[in-house]
Amino acid sequence: MSTNNQISVEIPQTVLDEVSQKLQECKTLLAPYLYGLTKDERKGLFKMGDKTVATVQKVKSYLTTNPEFAPGYMDKQEFLKDEAVVTRAKSYIQRSKTAIIGS
């Protein structure tokens, strides 16, 4: 049984160099907003997977509709800032994956 080679692609080095340059530009633009964490700090953080992001967005909805139920220890403004960053970053990541994969 024979299989057909359905994908035959060679990416020119100039294109790869340009992609590398643009990724470096992205890293430079984001640098003021990012900081490194120690191994222990990374272990101690909650992981933000798809289910967790959905839960956080639901909490945001509840805060909007029923702000009286917000716990006293919660800084609503900081929560909203953090949620906005995660939502926007997730959107960019998904668009990047779609652009790379092409689906």
* Domain presence at residue 96: yes
pTM: predicted TM-score of the whole model, two decimal places: 0.61
H-assigned helices in the chain:
13-30, 39-44, 50-65, 76-101
Residue 59's domain comprises 38-101
pLDDT in tens, the chain (103 residues): 567 877 888 999 999 999 999 989 988 998 998 888 899 998 998 887 778 888 888 989 999 899 888 888 999 999 999 889 888 887 777 777 776 665 5
C-alpha to C-alpha distance for 19 and 34, rounded to whole angstroms: 21
* Domain presence at residue 23: no
* Domain presence at residue 9: no
Number of domains making up the chain: 1
Give the pair of three-digit tokens for residue 86. Answer: 């995660």
* Domain presence at residue 76: yes
Q: What pLDDT was estimated at residue 29?
A: 92
